[in-house]
């Protein structure tokens, strides 16, 4: 927020940001392009992607060609998979550009911390975005939980990789994080709605024999206060997806469903709101640029690192899309 204006909630005021978009894949097309087009404060100047471009917008093969093409940019938004994204971000920061990162912000927390140092030294904004934190009911859950005591809970994050990530071979490489690519969304919500610090106490990771990342996992997260959150994560779930967080509290259960879009509170009907995640992210990025601030929370990524570090690996059948 700056000068009393809440940019995260759809303000359309403020200076124009001339933007480059890197990695034209599923999320760039599904969410970034519509959010950018709907926000008058952004102008999409050009894109960089090896195999794709956006109609009517100059397109270059990679970040170096984008930067060398002679356009005027203020910022870039990076929608490539996590591996290699830090290198792209570093080049953009070196060119004096503000950078917005898709989730997860890097392959490792060290990589992200180094980017933070680099951006700070260059005086540009770095925004590690967590789109699920902008889901409609997340703020309401955080506000309600601030008044109550949590005693335990569970995360059920289950979806069909073939439906939601068709052909994305990178996602089952270690750097792609496997089932933690979607599940880190749950961890981003958990670490937003609860003040507790969590550690991964135990984990089992089902890793297909021909892959290096987990296709399913079970984790126990332990809060600093001592309660446990059990996480049941499945990338081979054929039914309608489960993107749910259920918490037990001293006042009864709270549930966030549909990836944080719907909240259930004791004695009340479920309440759902519209999906404004990406418009809110671009609003937040604009506010950060205006305020010359960095926002790069690595808490969700730390939990994924811990799960892979301590997790007991169970071989599972080979996987093919
Ligand atoms: P995607 O469909 O595979 O698109 C990523 C694009 O990045 C590719 O189309 C590719 O375009 C480019 N790219 C550059 N280097 C690449 C590499 N080494 N391997 C593969 N592609 C590479 O992936 P996505 O679903 O958009 O996900 C991208 C990021 O957004 C991930 O971090 C993901 O977690 C996040 N995200 C995804 C979703 C979702 O629902 N899919 C939702 C929220 C966030 P070129 O081949 O043209 O270079």
Q: Report pLDDT for 153.
A: 98
CA of 38 to the centre of ligand 1 (A): 22
Q: Ligand 1: distance of its center to the CA of 102 in Å?
A: 9
Whether the CB of 29 sits within 6 Å of ligand 1 = no
* pLDDT value, residue 1: 26
124 has a pLDDT exceeding 70:
yes
My answer on whether 292 and 228 are in the same domain is no
Q: Which of 81, 86, 93, 77 has its CA nearest to residue 111?
A: 86
- Mean pLDDT score, 287-306: 98
Which residue's CA is minimally distant from atom 8 of ligand 1?
25
Query: Do both 194 and 218 map to the same domain?
Result: yes
In a domain? residue 57: yes
Nearest residue (by CA) to ligand 1, atom 14, is 80
Sign of CA dihedral 217, 212, 86, 11: negative
Q: Please, what is the average pLDDT of the chain?
A: 95
Under the banding of pLDDT at 50, 70 and 90, the label for residue 196 is: confident
Q: Is 132 touching ligand 1 by the criterion CB < 6 Å?
A: no
Are both 165 and 99 inside the same structural domain? no
The mean pLDDT value for 294-300 works out to 98
Residue 2 has pLDDT above 50, yes or no: no
Let me know if residue 256 belongs to a domain.
Answer: yes
Tell me the residue range of the domain where 240 lies.
136-272+305-316
Cβ atoms of 235 and 211 within 8 Å: the answer is no
**Residue 214 half-sphere exposure, CB side, CA atoms within 13 Å?**
28
Q: 172 and 310 share a domain?
A: yes
Residue 210 has pLDDT above 80, yes or no: yes
Output the domain CATH number for residue 177.
3.30.360.10
Query: Which residue among 51, 79, 169, 241 has the greatest number of ligand 1 atoms within 8 angstroms of its CB, and so is best to mutate?
Result: 79
Distance CA 100, CA 94 (A): 14
What is the rounded CA–CA span in Å between residue 105 and residue 103? 5
Same domain, 120 and 153: no
Ligand 1 touching residue 80 (CB < 6 A): yes
**Residues 63, 22 share a domain:** yes
Order of strands, sheet of 228-234, starting from the edge strand that comes earlier in the sequence: 271-272, 262-264, 254-257, 242-249, 150-158, 228-234, 216-223, 198-208, 312-316
Ligand 1 atom with the shortest distance to the CA of 80: 7
Instruction: Name the catalytic one among 2, 26, 103, 158.
Output: 103
For position 100, which CATH number holds?
3.40.50.720
- Cα(104) to centroid of ligand 1, in Å? 11
Residue 12 pLDDT: 65
In degrees, rounded to 5, the angle at the alpha carbon of residue 85 between the alpha carbons of residues 92 and 91 is 20
In a domain? residue 172:
yes
Domain assignment present for 5: no
pLDDT surpasses 70 at 276: yes
Is-catalytic flag, 103?
yes
**How many angstroms is it from 208 CA to the middle of ligand 1?**
21
**Which amino acid residue places its CA nearest to atom 43 of ligand 1?**
27
Question: How far is the C-alpha of 6 from the C-alpha of 284, rounded, in Å?
Answer: 9
Residues 159 and 193 occupy one common structural domain: yes
pLDDT, one tens digit per residue, over 126-176 is 999 999 999 999 999 999 999 999 999 999 999 999 999 999 999 999 999
Task: State the number of CA atoms in the 13 A half-sphere of 38 facing the CB.
Answer: 15
pLDDT at 4 exceeding the cut of 50: no
Per DSSP, the three-state class of 136 is coil
Helix-, strand-, coil-residue percentages of the chain, each rounded to 5: 35, 25, 35
Q: Structurally, how many domains does the chain consist of?
A: 2
% residues pLDDT > 90 (the chain): 94
In a domain, 8, yes or no: no
Q: Residue 181: CB within 6 Å of ligand 1?
A: yes
**Whether 178 and 312 share a structural domain:** yes
Query: How many residues belong to the chain?
Result: 321
Residue 185 pLDDT exceeds 70? yes
Domain presence at residue 10? no
CA 316 to chain centre: 27
Ligand 1: centre distance to CA 85 (Å): 10
The pick from 20, 26, 33, 87 for probing ligand 1's pocket by mutation, whose C-beta has the most ligand atoms within 8 angstroms, reads 26
Same domain, 267 and 284: no
Q: Given a cut of 60, is residue 10 above it in pLDDT?
A: no
pLDDT attached to residue 13: 79
Residues 217 and 268 in one domain: yes
Does ligand 1 have an atom closer than 6 angstroms to the CB of 51?
yes
Is it the case that residue 291 has pLDDT exceeding 80? yes
Largest distance between two CA atoms of the chain: 59
pLDDT tens per residue, range 31-86: 999 999 999 999 999 999 999 999 999 999 999 999 999 999 999 999 999 999 99
Q: Is 2 within the bounds of a domain?
A: no
Q: Are residues 268 and 285 in the same domain?
A: no
Q: Are residues 268 and 147 in the same domain?
A: yes
Which pLDDT score, from 0 to 100, does residue 3 have?
31
Tell me, yes or no, whether 197 lies in a domain.
yes
- pLDDT at position 6: 38
Quickly tell me which residue has 């079970």 as its tokens: 218
Per-residue confidence at 14, pLDDT binned at 50, 70, 90?
confident
Average pLDDT over residues 79-97: 98
Q: What average pLDDT score do residues 85-107 get?
A: 98
């Amino acid at each position: 927020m700056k000068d009393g204006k809440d940019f995260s909630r759809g303000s359309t005021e403020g200076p124009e940001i001339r933007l480059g978009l890197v990695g034209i894949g599923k999320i760039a097309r599904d969410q970034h392009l519509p959010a950018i087009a709907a926000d008058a404060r952004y102008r999409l100047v050009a894109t960089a992607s090896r195999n794709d471009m956006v109609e009517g917008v100059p397109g270059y093969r990679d970040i170096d060609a984008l930067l060398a093409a002679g356009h005027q940019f203020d910022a870039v938004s990076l929608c490539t998979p996590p591996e290699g994204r830090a290198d792209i971000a570093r080049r953009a920061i070196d060119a004096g550009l503000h950078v917005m990162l898709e989730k997860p912000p890097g392959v490792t927390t060290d990589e992200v911390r180094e980017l933070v140092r680099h951006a700070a030294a260059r005086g540009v904004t770095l925004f590690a975005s967590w789109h699920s934190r902008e889901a409609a009911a997340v703020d309401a859950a955080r506000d309600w939980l601030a008044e109550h005591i949590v005693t335990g809970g569970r995360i059920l994050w289950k979806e069909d990789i073939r439906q939601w990530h068709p052909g994305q071979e990178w996602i089952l490489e270690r750097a792609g994080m496997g089932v933690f690519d979607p599940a880190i969304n749950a961890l981003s919500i958990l670490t937003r709605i609860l003040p507790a610090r969590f550690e991964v106490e135990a984990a089992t990771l089902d890793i297909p024999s021909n892959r290096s990342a987990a296709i399913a996992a079970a984790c126990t997260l332990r809060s600093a206060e001592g309660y446990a959150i059990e996480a049941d994560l499945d990338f081979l779930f054929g039914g309608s997806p489960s993107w749910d967080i259920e918490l037990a509290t001293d006042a009864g259960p709270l549930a966030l469903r549909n990836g944080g879009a719907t909240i259930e509170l004791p004695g009340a009907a479920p309440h759902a709101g519209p999906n404004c995640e990406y418009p809110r992210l671009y609003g937040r990025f604009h506010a950060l640029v205006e305020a010359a601030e960095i926002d790069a929370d690595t808490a969700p990524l730390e939990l994924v690192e811990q799960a892979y570090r301590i997790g007991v690996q169970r071989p599972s059948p080979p996987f093919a899309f």
